Amino acid sequence: MDLNGLIVGLGNPGAQYRGTRHNIGFMSVQTLLEEVERGNSRAPEQLSGSKFNALLWRIQIPGGGTWLVAEPQTFMNLSGDAVQPLMAWYRLKPEQLLVVHDELDLEPGRLKLKKGGSAAGHNGIKSIQQRLGTPEFYRLRVGVGKPQNREQVIPWVLGRFGEAERDIMNKTFPNIVDAVIRFAVDGPERAINVVNTRKK
């Protein structure tokens, strides 16, 4: 299978976590799949990801090649246990990986695309870095804001968006999809220049 890379949306499996801030990666991936299905003659193809403990699809991005898309079905802090075996099985390099995840240090709706760097307390990213043995993969950080009290971080990320935030995020999903498609079509560096300079 000739692949350009792997796009991973992070989150926690299970109905109780659906729609939470920590599951923004899952929501982003689902929006991407819907957009690909709408705008492409080839619909996303669901693959068996059970041996990787992930939901898995193969998609065609016009002008951007063939990509795997995954939602790890481990819990967030074990995301690397799904991502690393997928990367190894399909013989992908770290620079072919794009991970979409929530980011406390960005206001809701703000996006930042980067390669490498610290996990900054994000357990999903930390797990992937540990399992791959390197931080040198790409991350699309999706701002979800943070609580005033640092002791409230866990309830915050496992909580759902308020009405105003939900409106902002609904307007942000098309930008997330655009960022992923730019990454695939134009390459990481050009995508970084566009995504990181765009106003919210």
Positions marked catalytic: 22
Distance of alpha carbon 74 from alpha carbon 185, whole angstroms:
30
* C-beta of residue 44 within 8 angstroms of C-beta of residue 182: no
Residues contacting residue 168 through CB under 8 Å, at least 6 positions apart: 108, 109
The position carrying tokens 């957009």 is 35
For residue 19, give Cα distances in angstroms to 14, 66, 123, 172: 11, 28, 19, 15
Interacting residues of 59 by C-beta distance below 8 A, sequence separation 6+ = 32, 33, 36, 40, 42, 44, 45, 66, 67, 68, 69
